[in-house]
Every structure is written in structure tokens, then in C-alpha cells.
């Protein structure tokens, strides 16, 4: 016998709260941890970076700049590959260029067209496989380009609606992709201008920040612990703490409870698995890791399986099943 425990009874919402802002200017939504079954998420807060004044040591640091090439419309997104080449986009020209250093360092190198015919290419970054990940804002999508120039669409919609104009991106150490989705050249298509996260396995896009005015540039630290997002609309840059993975919850953790009524005595409380007759019994518990608190359309005592699954559909980071077996004599 293999019994699925109804999610309305035994779904465990692993949601912790932590990280207080230095100032109370903003509290964006949760940032996901790497996608692993049965991990908890931590709701984080952000604070704008203060305006820094150059120190004496900063003023003494000088670097020589030289013009490599010019005559472009709107350049963006420089990204180096493992061989020292630098790729950059020209948004209005619909092209991605490749700069190659000179062999003898006697010149400024050369620039060639890597890919043409794009619609508003913007932010670029290389993944660990050597593919060039690009925000193609004009087509409202995030794409992957292999070394031969072949395009694979990674994400082009959220909740069944195309993105606004994906602008910039950052790939975290696990291979997940954070990207911003403002609207500059066209009307807002989504219900705002937000920041999203594409899971490392490319299975789902999650909206992780939804209270910025117009998010633009985005980058994280190499250890994967800190995320920076420039809000062009607010004229501020926000810093986020990305929490480490959690594989268990300490005792008395907040956010675990029950919804609906159980199928044993129809009460709004947890009831242990039970069945009639002898033999081996297998019960399956489903655990969901969520990026936010679910918004229910009915009171908690009236939640059904369908209501619950609909409420967590777009905020589920990962799920895992736990099978429990016992023999009844």
C-alpha cells in the first residue's frame, strides 16, 4: 500500500525570517538559496549603500586608459571568457562583439562580430560550460549562446506573460541566474519591474525582489553570499545577504503549522498516518521550500489541497518527498 499524504494536512512550509536592515528604507522579498530538496529559505532585507567619499589612498590609485575601438550605438555588458577575450553588446545595433588581445601586446587588439541579428542584447556573462548567457531585452528573454553562436532560450516568461526587457544578469556559484527586468524602450508588460532567479537546473523562474522602482545592474560576490542591485529608478544601490543553505530546522522554528482539516477526525490539527488492515504501509510526505509566505484565498481552516497548491505554485523553490515505511500486523 502506498498512500500519498494530502498536502493540505502535512505540507511543511520551511520559511525563516532573518537579517535586519541597517536602515528602514526597504525590505525586498526573499532571495533563494541554491535549489536542493527540503532546504529552507531565509527572508532577507536590504539596505542602500551609502555614498562613499574617496580616501587619500583611493585618489593615489591611477590607471592608464586607452581606446580600443569606437563607432558603436550603445555598448553594454562586457564579459571576459577563459581565454582573455572580452565580449560586449551593442544594444541598438543588435550585435554582440568579441575583442581579442594582440599577440604581442603592441596594439589594442581587434574586434569582430560574434553574433548579429539580436533584438536589444544587453547584459552578458559566461557560464561554467563556456556558453554566453545574454539578456535580450527587445525579445523579453534570457538566452544562452554556445561558442558556435547557436541560441537556446532559457526563460522568456513569468506567470505566462513575457518579461519586460531583461537588462543585466549574474550567475551564482551554483549556476543559478539572477536577472533584472526593467522597462525602458517599451511599456511594462509584467505587473512591475522586478528581479528574478532562474534555478540552476533551469526548471523554474522565481521572482525574488518586487519592491524596487527600476532595477538595472546586478552582480554578486564570488562566494555567493552577497548580491548588489542598482535601482536606476530610485537612484540607489541595494545590497542583499544571500543566506547559506539550510538542510534542517532547529527546534521551535517559526513558520510551521497546519492548514485545513485532517482526514482522520476532521479536526484542524495534525493527525499521524493511519490505515486499516495488516501489511507493509508506505506513506509519502511532501516538503516544499518557499520563497515567501503563501497568500491564501480562504481562511486557514477551509484550505483544501487545490487551494494550497495554487497558493504556492509561483513561490516554490524546491520540493522533496519523504517515504516512511512500517509493517502493521
Q: With respect to residue 319, please indicate whether it lies within any of the assigned structural domains.
A: no
Bridge-based pairing state of the strands 194-198 and 177-181: antiparallel
The one-digit pLDDT tens for each residue of the chain (329 residues) are 433 333 322 233 333 222 322 222 333 333 443 333 223 333 334 555 555 455 545 555 566 777 777 789 999 999 999 999 999 999 999 999 999 987 766 567 889 999 999 999 999 999 999 999 999 999 999 999 999 999 999 999 999 999 999 999 999 998 999 999 999 988 999 999 999 999 888 988 988 888 899 999 999 999 888 899 999 999 999 988 776 654 444 444 444 455 666 666 666 555 666 667 788 888 787 888 888 778 888 877 688 878 888 888 888 888 888 888 878 77
Is 139 among the domain residues?
yes
Instruction: Flag whether 152 is in a domain.
Output: yes
DSSP 3-state assignment of 79? strand
Domain membership flag for residue 23: no
134 found inside a domain: yes
pLDDT at position 262: 62
Q: Give residue 63's pLDDT.
A: 67
Total Cβ atoms within 10 A of residue 292 = 18
**Beta bridge partners of residue 290, listed in sequence order:** 316
Query: In this structure, what C-alpha cell is assigned to residue 230?
Result: 542598482
Rg over alpha carbons for the chain, rounded to the nearest Å, is 24
Inside any domain, residue 31 = no
Enclosing domain of residue 128: 41-47+70-241
Residue 137 contacts residue 122 (beta carbons within 8 Å): yes
The C-alpha cell at 200 is 540552476
Pairing of strands 151-155, 12-17: unpaired
- CA–CA separation, 13 vs 131, rounded Å? 36
- Asked whether residue 308 is assigned to any structural domain, the reply reads no
Q: Using the 8-state DSSP alphabet, how is residue 162 labeled?
A: E
Report pLDDT for 268: 57
Q: Pairing mode, if any, of strands 2-4 and 279-290?
A: parallel
Q: What integer pLDDT is reported at residue 24 of this predicted model?
A: 29
pLDDT of 138: 95
Q: Which of 169, 180, 161, 113 is nearest to 144 (CA)?
A: 169
Pair 229, 238: CB distance under 8 Å: yes
Distance in angstroms (rounded) separating the CA atoms of residues 45 and 39: 19
pLDDT at 43: 37
pTM: predicted TM-score of the whole model, two decimal places: 0.60
C-alpha cell at 64: 592608464
DSSP-derived 3-state class of residue 207: strand
pLDDT for residue 259 = 64
What CATH number is associated with residue 79? 2.120.10.30
* Cα gap 9→6, rounded to integer Å: 6
DSSP 39-69: -BEEE--EEEPPPPPP-HHHHH---------
Q: What nine digits make up the cell of 268?
A: 484542524
Question: Residue 127: inside a domain, yes or no?
Answer: yes
Overall number of domains in the chain: 1
pLDDT at 25: 33
Of 210, 161, 150, residue with least CA distance to 182: 210
The reported pLDDT for the residue numbered 62 is 67
Q: What is the pLDDT of residues 171-210, one digit of tens each?
A: 999 899 999 999 998 899 999 999 999 988 898 898 888 8
Pairing between β-strand 205-209 and β-strand 194-198 as defined by DSSP bridges: antiparallel
Order of strands across the sheet with 194-198?
169-171, 177-181, 194-198, 205-209
Task: Give the residues across from 8 on adjacent strands.
Answer: none
Amino acid at each position: 500500500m502506498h498512500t500519498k499524504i494530502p498536502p493540505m494536512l502535512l505540507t511543511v512550509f520551511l520559511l525563516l525570517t532573518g537579517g535586519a536592515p541597517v536602515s528602514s528604507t526597504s525590505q525586498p522579498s526573499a532571495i533563494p538559496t541554491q535549489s536542493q530538496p527540503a532546504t529552507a529559505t531565509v527572508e532577507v532585507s536590504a539596505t542602500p549603500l551609502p555614498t562613499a567619499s574617496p580616501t587619500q589612498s583611493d585618489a593615489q590609485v591611477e590607471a592608464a586608459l586607452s581606446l580600443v575601438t569606437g563607432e558603436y550605438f550603445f555598448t553594454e555588458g562586457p564579459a571576459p571568457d577563459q581565454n582573455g577575450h572580452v565580449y560586449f553588446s551593442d544594444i541598438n545595433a543588435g550585435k554582440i562583439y568579441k575583442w581579442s588581445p594582440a599577440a604581442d601586446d603592441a596594439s589594442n587588439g581587434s574586434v569582430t562580430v560574434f553574433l548579429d541579428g539580436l533584438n536589444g542584447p544587453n547584459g552578458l556573462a559566461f557560464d561554467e560550460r563556456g556558453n554566453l548567457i545574454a539578456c535580450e531585452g527587445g525579445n523579453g528573454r534570457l538566452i544562452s549562446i554556445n561558442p558556435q553562436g547557436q541560441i537556446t532560450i532559457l526563460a522568456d516568461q513569468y506567470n505566462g506573460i513575457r518579461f519586460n526587457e531583461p537588462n543585466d544578469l549574474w550567475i551564482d556559484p551554483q549556476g543559478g541566474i539572477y536577472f533584472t527586468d526593467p522597462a525602458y524602450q517599451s511599456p511594462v508588460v509584467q505587473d512591475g519591474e522586478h528581479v528574478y532567479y532562474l534555478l540552476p537546473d533551469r526548471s523554474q523562474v522565481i521572482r525574488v525582489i518586487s519592491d524596487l522602482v527600476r532595477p538595472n545592474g546586478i552582480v554578486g560576490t564570488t562566494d555567493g553570499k552577497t548580491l548588489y542591485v542598482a535601482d536606476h529608478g530610485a537612484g540607489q544601490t541595494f545590497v542583499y545577504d544571500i543566506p547559506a543553505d539550510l538542510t534542517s530546522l532547529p527546534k521551535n522554528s517559526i513558520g510551521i503549522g497546519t492548514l485545513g482539516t485532517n482526514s482522520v477526525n476532521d479536526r484542524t490539527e495534525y493527525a499521524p498516518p493511519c490505515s486499516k488492515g495488516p501489511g507493509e504501509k508506505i506513506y509519502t510526505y511532501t516538503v516544499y521550500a518557499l520563497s515567501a509566505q503563501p497568500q491564501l484565498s480562504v481562511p486557514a481552516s477551509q484550505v483544501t489541497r487545490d487551494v494550497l497548491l495554487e497558493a504556492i505554485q509561483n513561490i516554490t523553490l524546491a520540493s522533496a518527498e519523504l517515504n516512511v515505511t512500517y509493517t502493521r500486523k
